[in-house]
Amino acid sequence: MTARLPPVSGLGKALRRSLVAAGVDASCSPADVWVASRLPTPPGRKPLVSPRRADVVAWPETAEEVAAVVAVAVKAGVPITAAGGATGSTGGAVPARGGIVLDTRRLIRPVHVDARARIAELGAGLTAQRIDRILGEHGMTLGCDAVPQSTLGGWLATRTAGERSSRYGTLADRTLTLEAVDGSGEIIRTQEGSGLSQLLLGSEGTLVIFTSARLRVAQLPCARWARTVRFPTLAAGLKGLRTVVAEGLRPAIARLHDPAGWFALSRVPARIPAPLRRVLAGAGGEALRLSLLAPGLLNRVADALPLPALLTLAFEGDDEDGCAIEGAIALDLCREARGVDAGPVPPRLPAPRGAPAAREAALDVATTWDRAESVIREVRRAVHDLAFARASIAHAAPEGCAIEFTFLGGTDPETQRGEGRSSPGEVVAAALSAAADAGASLSHHSGIGAQRQLLLPRELGEGMRQLRALKSAFDPHRILNPGKLLL
């Protein structure tokens, strides 16, 4: 069944005329506006559209054209929502109050790589796929491994970390200078070491629109060492991983699955009694789907089983021997925390045994090492009867880590079909609140957007006043991405 798209608004037509007159390509066709107004939805789900969809979409190609879009918006008194690859999970790039969606994907210049200095200057609209290709041609990498369609501008706007941040640092660590346009139409070009770059990163389109960045890049690795380590408990695994990074080792991958995560993986540990192992081994997607009707029971089973925590470690660099030495040092440190070498990593870790029909939601938070275990415990407790929860430590730094939760179960809010009694949104909200109560930060790399903003005052406290002051400073007309970050 297809639905008719709403007609072009009068405001959309007027904005398009102004934008085209300013030299910026723009469209107010219902299809373009619909695509630019989609809410983040998991794959396989029916796409939803913002209730206050955009009026027009603009495709500027330079910083000057972005400034021209800002000028049009100021004159018309309409908001601008900057959007890139539309891969965000928190709704940060979805228009909340209509107006102009500024599609950044034509901001593809400059493209300059200085392999000797290990610096790349890239347009904010370049996608991860293109950046990987461009840098790869010079034997370089950013170490991000982001979603292929995501853009550099989106990474800057959310201050994303990158999949291999334990080795290569976060994007903030790699950012040298930025070019951006603020809400008054000024083009800001930060200088290295000024501190302004670091202040603007992560502002989610509410203070400036990024147009390009100079980034430090790393040599593409040609050697790799990977291993799994089994720990008897989550606490032991946390201690082992923390020691590895505190000692100065920089694993490219360091992912610690909690026992529930292990439970959700296909491989069934040998310590489980044989009859139960056969039941678990035979439990396919349908069994999981049925068990998710009572997620509390599934959580209790996972809690009761004597399951270990599993750490995947990988080191990469330019020589096999060096990687192997780093790996050997890491294994020694893990042994001190009761870790046992569990052999090489399979070519690809088994996918979770989630049934295709199972509703899945995800959440990332950040915290210090001393709080990590209690954050996981409190989140699991909060969603105990709502969804099956598993956690993994996905980014490790000497002072703390990111925890990624995956929740299986929940009811599709549209069809009212599915497992459990709560929608994925309700599950995430309960989990986020519990994580915040346990002292975790609301997001490690996904941003706040629209979905997590109600908890922002708990995160920032009196810092909300500083945030509002920054909004007044960089966006005096309050046109940049309103409805996000409580701004």
Partner 1 sequence: MSVRDDLLRSGAAVVEDGERGFRLTPPSIVSLGRAVAAVRAHGVPLRVRGHGDAPSTAPAHGVLLELGSLDRIAAVDCATGLARVEAGCSVSALESAARRAGCTLGPLLPSVRSGSVGAWLAGPTRGERGVHGSRRQTAALTVSAVLADGRIAEGRSAPAKSVGPDLDRLSLGGGGRLTVIAAAWIRLFPARGAASSAWTCRDPAAALAALEQVCARELAPARARILGGASGARLALTWEGGAVAALERDRAGRMLAALGCGSGGEPGAWVRDAPTGHPVEVDARWMSLREWSREGEWQLFGMHGGGAFATLSLPEARGAEECATLARAAGARVIAPRRMRDEGRTWANMGAGGAWGRLLDALGLPE
Only one of the segments 103-111, 195-203, 341-349, 425-433 lies at the binding site for partner 1 (rule: CB under 8 A); that segment is 195-203
172 or 287, CB closer to partner 1? 172
User: By CB under 8 A, is residue 338 in contact with partner 1?
Assistant: no
User: By CB under 8 A, is residue 165 in contact with partner 1?
Assistant: yes
**Preceding omega of 347 cis (within 30 degrees of 0):** no
- Considering only residues 100 to 119 of the shown chain, the ones binding partner 1 according to CB under 8 A are 117-118
Distance CA 211, CA 417 (A): 43
Q: Which of 167, 227, 257, 289 binds partner 1 (CB under 8 A)?
A: 167
User: By CB under 8 A, is residue 374 in contact with partner 1?
Assistant: no
Report, in Å, the least distance between residue 114 CB and partner 1.
11
393 or 408, CB closer to partner 1? 393
- Considering only residues 62 to 91 of the shown chain, the ones binding partner 1 according to CB under 8 A are none
User: By CB under 8 A, is residue 186 in contact with partner 1?
Assistant: yes
User: By CB under 8 A, is residue 215 in contact with partner 1?
Assistant: no
8 or 470, CB closer to partner 1? 470
Report, in Å, the least distance between residue 116 CB and partner 1.
8
Report, in Å, the least distance between residue 456 CB and partner 1.
7
Distance CA 318, CA 354 (A): 37
User: By CB under 8 A, is residue 370 in contact with partner 1?
Assistant: yes
Report, in Å, the least distance between residue 435 CB and partner 1.
10
The pairs formed by 300-303 with CB atoms below 8 angstroms and a separation of 24 or more are 301/263, 302/259, 302/260, 302/263, 302/388, 302/390, 303/260, 303/380
Report, in Å, the least distance between residue 52 CB and partner 1.
22
Only one of the segments 10-18, 74-82, 181-189, 266-274 lies at the binding site for partner 1 (rule: CB under 8 A); that segment is 181-189
User: By CB under 8 A, is residue 40 in contact with partner 1?
Assistant: no
**Ramachandran area for residue 351 (φ above 0: left; ψ -120 to 50: alpha; else beta):** beta
User: By CB under 8 A, is residue 169 in contact with partner 1?
Assistant: yes
- Considering only residues 248 to 307 of the shown chain, the ones binding partner 1 according to CB under 8 A are 248-250
User: By CB under 8 A, is residue 203 in contact with partner 1?
Assistant: yes
**Rounded to whole angstroms, what are the CA distances from 265 to 44, 229, 306, 341?**
22, 15, 15, 18
**Ramachandran area for residue 449 (φ above 0: left; ψ -120 to 50: alpha; else beta):** left
Q: 254 by DSSP, 3-state: which?
A: strand
Distance CA 200, CA 205 (A): 9
**Rounded to whole angstroms, what are the CA distances from 204 to 189, 375, 407, 477?**
18, 26, 26, 17
Distance CA 242, CA 237 (A): 8
User: By CB under 8 A, is residue 147 in contact with partner 1?
Assistant: no
Nearest to 24 by CA among 36, 16, 32, 14: 16
Report, in Å, the least distance between residue 367 CB and partner 1.
5
Report, in Å, the least distance between residue 120 CB and partner 1.
12
33 or 245, CB closer to partner 1? 245
C-beta of residue 403 within 8 angstroms of C-beta of residue 309? no
Nearest to 486 by CA among 462, 439, 451: 451
Report, in Å, the least distance between residue 255 CB and partner 1.
16
